[in-house]
Amino acid sequence: EYEEKTGRAHRPLSPKQNVRKNLDFEPLSTTALILEDRPANLPAKPAEEAQKHRQQYEEMVVQAKKRELKEAQKRKKQLEERCKLEDSIGNAVLTWNNEILPNWETMCCSRKVRELWWQGIPPSVRGKVWSLAIGNELNITHELYDICLSRAKEKWRSLSTGGAEVECEDAGFSAADREASLELIKLDISRTFPNLCIFQQGGPYHDTLHSILGAYTCYRPDVGYVQGMSFIAAVLILNLDTADAFIAFSNLLNKPCQMAFFRVDHGLMLTYFAAFEVFFEENLPKLFAHFKKNNLTPDIYLIDWIFTLYSKSLPLDLACRVWDVFCRDGEEFLFRTALGILKLFEDILTKMDFIHIAQFLTKLPEDLPSEEFFTSIAAIQMQSRNKKWAQVKRILIFENR
């Protein structure tokens, strides 16, 4: 019975299919083109016309064939490029794992490594490279992380049970202040990369992010939790194991620039902005003048960029590449990146007024072209009248005293 059914489904070839069968090549895009004789109830085409139609049909098929061949070649090329890219990433992973990482101290500053570094660190070794480059000046151990975490957990417990006996060993920081911090952490975790859906309640990294931020407020109660930190911790969590992420987080925040910002040391922040403006004027004098004319001060856009290390304002893959070089070159690169962004959009920005520049820079386009972006950063000279970033900063700090 089954055979009968399937047998019935096998109808004899239709005349159309017969026509097609004669063609040795059938381009997909011409499947709708059918060369047929006129139905029997109509007078037949004159031989001349039939000949002409056949010719036209063949021309169309040839054109389509050409086009499809071209497309196939393009696809092949794209595939080859992707393979090449994957190969180069694969090769880079090998180079990082087999050559650079085992000989870190001697190799990390070589020209070859610096160049490879600029290309972007392959995601599989990124965390390791960041850890090594950030270092562990604070000598934080995994045990210390556990201690800080268990303290944080105690505090959460005593808060949730409403216990008033919060230890007062961190004198000077009111219980209310710390409570606000812990509350705020909870609130901000769900607002950290919400579109990734991994840090939100129930997501795989929710507790990890909570733990690292909580442990940090116990490790550095004088700094506490400051908005923006959740983004930094989240980027580290994406690339490192929890305790290592905590170590990198604490050491990263301990760098002079990050300390100045996260303690909201206003005077020092202004010094950083002033140093930035020296290089801004040097690199982009026209845009600098335009910003001055419009009263557009660097705090308007730099605060968000520096506090979150670009992780909130750039697409995540670009932000990670900025982090790569930031880990290599230090704070200077954060300001160089800012200038790179300004340079990339210089033409648009010079046509805008204050509020539109402010709006644009605090919400950058989502489709930032990565190669152009890094070319633009590379074109920024961090040298002003023979002075480098660190020197300019030192002079300004000295003058501000």
Partner 1 sequence: ISRNTMPGTSLEGIHPTYIYKVVLLGSTSVGKSSLAYRYVKNDFKESLPTVGCSFFTQTLNLEAATIKFEIWDTAGQEKYHSVCHLYYRGAHAALLVYDITNKETLNRAKLWLRDLEKEFLPDEIVIGLVGNKTDLAAEREVATEEGKEFARTKGLLFMETSAKSNHQVNDIFMAIAQELLQREREKTSIPSPHGWSTVNLGESGVRTRCC
Q: Where on the chain is the footprint of partner 1 (CB under 8 A)?
A: 180, 184, 187-188, 190-192, 194, 224, 226-228, 230, 264, 266, 269, 294-295, 299-301, 303-304, 307-308, 312, 353-356, 358-359, 362-363
Nearer to partner 1, 117 or 305 (CB): 305
Nearer to partner 1, 189 or 320 (CB): 189
- DSSP code string of 95-164: IIIIIIGGGHHHHTTSHHHHHHHHT---HHHHHHHHHHHH--TT---HHHHHHHHHHHHHHHHHHHTT--
Smallest distance from partner 1 to CB 257, Å: 15
Smallest distance from partner 1 to CB 155, Å: 19
Residue closest to 58 by CA, chosen among 13, 24, 12: 24
Nearer to partner 1, 118 or 173 (CB): 173
* Cα distances (angstroms) measured from residue 316 to each of 200, 207, 339: 17, 21, 19
* Cα distances (angstroms) measured from residue 43 to each of 15, 35, 39, 56: 19, 16, 8, 21
- DSSP code string of 220-244: -TTT---TTHHHHHHHHHHHS-HHH
Query: Exposed, middle or buried: residue 320 (CB in 10 Å: 0-12, 13-18, 19+)?
Result: buried
Contact 387, 282 (CB under 8 A): no
Nearer to partner 1, 25 or 354 (CB): 354
Residues 6 or more apart whose Cβ sits within 8 Å of residue 53: 35, 45
Smallest distance from partner 1 to CB 296, Å: 9
Nearer to partner 1, 131 or 311 (CB): 311
d(CA 217, CA 219): 5
Nearer to partner 1, 41 or 295 (CB): 295
d(CA 379, CA 68): 41
Nearer to partner 1, 355 or 379 (CB): 355
Smallest distance from partner 1 to CB 389, Å: 22
Nearer to partner 1, 186 or 394 (CB): 186
Residue closest to 170 by CA, chosen among 222, 213, 214: 222
Smallest distance from partner 1 to CB 209, Å: 13
Smallest distance from partner 1 to CB 375, Å: 27
Nearer to partner 1, 30 or 192 (CB): 192
Residue closest to 185 by CA, chosen among 144, 231, 154: 231
Smallest distance from partner 1 to CB 231, Å: 8
d(CA 164, CA 371): 55
Residue 212 amino acid letter: I
Smallest distance from partner 1 to CB 306, Å: 9
Smallest distance from partner 1 to CB 303, Å: 3
